[in-house]
């Protein structure tokens, strides 16, 4: 499983209020949420983002609210992976649960700049910044996490497991 795309780089403490402002939480429709993703820190994001692109943040990415709408908005906008120095814990759980790949890599996060082309191989655990010509090792996703991501979320992966049995 791989993704390859263009980096959208943000700083430390990207909070869930800027990922998806609360004024749009009167719906839980993923496409409606994606239309306002990152709006309060980057009005260009929704215009530019392409399927498979990456968001890269600093420390404590996704801090604040427990709203699952935040990773849902990122996922529905087409982003294939979020890389950060560290993640806020509720965001981390939520991202895994909905099948949005996220990776902690302080080095890759620090080096990446907006516009860089970055590819990630989840199973072997490597991040390649093609623009910078740099490669980073990260712990590969354990099989259960790959399954969740491939199935499109925790619940879907559980159903898949039942069907196989």
Partner 1 sequence: MGMTMTQKILAAHAGLESVVPGQLIEAETDIVLGNDVTSPVAIRVFEEIGKKEVFDSSKVVIVPDHFAPNKDIQSAEQCRKCRVFAKEKGIENYFELGEMGIEHALLPEKGLVTAGDLIIGADSHTCTYGALGAFSTGVGSTDMAAAMALGKCWFKVPSAILFRLHGKLQPYVTGKDLILHIIGKIGVDGALYKSMEFSGDGVASLTIDDRFTVANMAIEAGAKNGIFPVDEVTMEYIQAHSKKPFRVFEADDDAVYDQVFDIDLDSIKQTVAFPHLPENTHTVDDIPEIPIDQVVIGSCTNGRIQDLRQAAEILKGRRVKKGVRLIVFPATQAIYLQAIREGLIQTFVEAGGAVSTPTCGPCLGGHMGILAAGERALATTNRNFVGRMGHPDSEVYLASPYVAAAGAVLGRIAGTEEVLK
Distance CA 23, CA 145 (A): 32
63 binds partner 1 (CB under 8 A): yes
Which of 9, 57, 67, 141 lies at the binding interface for partner 1 (CB under 8 A)? Answer: 67
Distance CA 155, CA 165 (A): 16
Which of 4, 6, 25, 106 lies at the binding interface for partner 1 (CB under 8 A)? Answer: 25
Distance CA 58, CA 141 (A): 21
User: How many residues would you count in the chain?
Assistant: 165
Kindly write out the interface string for residues 115-144 of this chain, putting x where it contacts partner 1 by CB under 8 A and - elsewhere. ------------------------------
**13-25 per-residue burial string, b: 16 or more CB within 10 A, e: under 16:** ebbbbbbbeeebe
21 binds partner 1 (CB under 8 A): yes
- Count of CB atoms within 10 A of residue 95's CB? 24
Which of 49, 53, 69, 111 lies at the binding interface for partner 1 (CB under 8 A)? Answer: 69
Residues 6+ apart with CB under 8 A from 165: none
59 binds partner 1 (CB under 8 A): yes
- At residue 15, the 3 state secondary structure works out as strand
Which of 8, 53, 65, 101 lies at the binding interface for partner 1 (CB under 8 A)? Answer: 65
Positions in 71-110 near partner 1 (CB under 8 A): 71-72, 86, 88-90, 93-94, 97-98
Contacting positions for partner 1 (CB under 8 A): 13, 15, 17-18, 21-23, 25-28, 39-41, 59-60, 63-69, 71-72, 86, 88-90, 93-94, 97-98, 153-156, 158-159
């Amino acid at each position: 499983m791989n993704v390859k795309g263009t980096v959208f780089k943000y700083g430390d403490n990207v909070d869930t209020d800027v990922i998806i402002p609360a004024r749009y939480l009167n719906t839980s429709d993923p496409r409606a949420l994606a239309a306002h993703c990152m709006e309060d820190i980057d009005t260009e994001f929704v215009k530019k983002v392409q399927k498979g692109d990456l968001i890269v943040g600093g420390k404590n990415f996704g801090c604040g609210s427990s709203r699952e709408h935040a990773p849902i908005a990122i996922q529905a906008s087409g982003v294939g992976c979020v890389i950060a120095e560290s993640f806020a814990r509720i965001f981390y759980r939520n991202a895994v649960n909905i099948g949005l790949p996220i990776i902690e890599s302080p080095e890759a996060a620090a080096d990446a700049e907006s516009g860089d082309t970055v590819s990630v191989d989840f199973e072997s655990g490597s991040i390649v910044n093609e623009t910078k010509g740099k490669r980073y090792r990260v712990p590969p996703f354990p099989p259960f996490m790959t399954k969740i991501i491939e199935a499109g979320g925790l619940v879907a992966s559980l159903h898949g497991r039942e069907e196989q049995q």
